[in-house]
Amino acid sequence: NNTINLKNRPKGRPSLDDFDITTSEIPEVQEGELLLGTKYVSVDPYLRGRMSDAPSYVPPFELNKPIKSGVVAEVLESKNDAFAKGDFVVGELAWKEKQVVKADGLMKVDPNQAALSAYLGVLGMTGLTAYHGLMEIGRPVKGETLIVSGAAGAVGSIVGQIGKILGMHVLGIAGSDEKVEMLKSEFGFDEGINYKTTENMTEAISEACPNGVDVYFDNVGGEISDAVLFNINKFSRTINCGAISVYNNTEAPKSISVQPFLVKKSSLMQGFIVTDFADKNEEAIQQLSQWLQQEKLHYTETIREGFDQIPQAFLDLFEGKNKGKMIVKL
Ligand code: NDP
């Protein structure tokens, strides 16, 4: 049975050398435990933070121990009354082909309600991140302008669509013309900007948003965000969801120059962790499921196949090789 461990704490951009695969026997299932077979593995930008040992909101991964992330698994054997063989579960689990676990923190998922992989994306952590961040911090209002960075990714593509459902004018920022086209044609965004080919982002945003920016859902940080913030309106709200453009930096960032601008605009900027709003998860999942059923909300996935492809799929997030949620299928 194979396991993927963290071999080194990456300096700068992670590489395949930072992971290794080990093989071991599967232990026997004890009373209260389950044997799980991994079906789908979520790879996420936040895992980069857990590979370093800097203090954070979750403890770092230990060296030479398995990496963990969101996993959908099938119950292969159960000695726990709450689960039966053949059930599917989602939870934070190790990067192992099979594993014996206690059932704490696992949630049953229904393959007849939605595709199993959706419980790692639109009906899982990234869908909740999009919903809570926009609703709780963005406080969206019909007719306002919403900008989403990282717009073609798992979180961003859902944020922009919720904005449209709520009647906002939505602009997405992404890293290729193909992604920008997808935002408009598949996800109904009003406008898109390819940050890799746009020379002056501040100007491009100003042109695309003649009424300014009321809500900014920030997945990337760095210079893209500076350019958005130069265009914000009075009483605008910025949701600091993530900052993937700086996750691999080895030097402290230079101070940004937009702060005086935030003062002038009486603008709110707030970070959050999706679990901050866990008490509202049920309501969020209900709403997201309803929008999916009504076909008001759509999602896309980039699915890689094979256990040994997990590290490469993770690395490819930093190259923008995914559209929507990046998932590995076993
Ligand atoms: P995505 O599906 O958006 O994948 C990452 C995307 O980031 C890539 O596809 C790429 O798209 C873009 N990207 C990579 N490098 C850069 C760069 N240097 N500059 C700009 N864009 C870049 O990932 P998620 O949707 O899972 O996560 C999005 C953000 O949300 C991340 O910052 C993540 O850490 C954060 N997050 C925060 C949570 C919270 O609780 N606060 C929970 C979950 C996620 P492109 O081709 O457009 O460059």
Q: At what angle do helices 125-132 and 281-293 cross, to 10 degrees?
A: 100
Q: Where do the domains of the chain lie, and which CATH numbers do they carry? A: 2-121+300-329 (3.90.180.10), 125-275 (3.40.50.720)
Please give the pLDDT value at position 84: 98
Contact criterion met (CB below 8 Å) for 216 and 236 = yes
Report the pLDDT value the prediction gives residue 260, as an integer from 0 to 100.
85
Spacing, Cα 86 to ligand 1 middle (Å): 34
Distance 320 CA to ligand 1 centre (A): 8
* pLDDT of the residue at 259: 82
Look at ligand 1, atom 8, and give the residue with the nearest C-alpha.
320
**Confidence (pLDDT) at 9:** 96
Judge contact between 99 and 24, C-beta under 8 A: no
CA 246 – ligand 1 centroid, Å:
11
- Centre of ligand 1 to C-alpha 237, Å, is 19
CA–centroid distance, residue 303 to ligand 1 (Å):
16
CA-CA distance, 323 to 86, in Å (whole number)? Answer: 31
Token pair of 130 as six digits: 């999009």
Separation of CA 263 and ligand 1 centre (Å): 27
Report the Cα–Cα distance between both ends of the chain, in Å, rounded: 13
Tens of pLDDT, residue by residue, the chain (330 residues): 999 999 999 999 999 999 999 999 999 999 999 999 999 999 999 999 999 998 888 899 999 999 999 999 999 999 999 999 999 999 999 999 999 999 999 999 999 999 999 999 999 999 999 999 999 999 999 999 999 999 999 999 999 999 999 999 999 999 999 999 999 999 999 999 999 999 999 999 999 999 999 999 999 999 999 999 999 999 999 999 999 999 999 887 776 677 888 999 999 999 999 999 999 999 999 999 999 999 999 999 999 999 999 999 999 999 999 999 999 999
How confident is the model at residue 254, as a pLDDT?
74
Q: Which residues line ligand 1 (CB under 6 A)?
A: 44-46, 126, 129, 150, 152-156, 174-176, 179, 219-220, 224, 241-245, 272-274, 317-318, 320, 322, 326
Q: Which long-range contacts (CB under 8 A, 24 or more apart) does 192-197 make?
A: 192/151, 195/149, 195/224
Angle 250-272-140 (CA atoms, 0-180°, nearest 5)? Answer: 125
Q: Which atom of ligand 1 is nearest to the CA of 174?
A: 47
Q: How much is the pLDDT for 172?
A: 98
CA-nearest residue for atom 18, ligand 1, is 245
3-state secondary structure 98-150: EEEEECCCCEEECCCCCCHHHHHCCCCHHHHHHHHHHHHHHCCCCCCEEEEEC
At 156, which helix (H) or strand (E)? helix 154-165
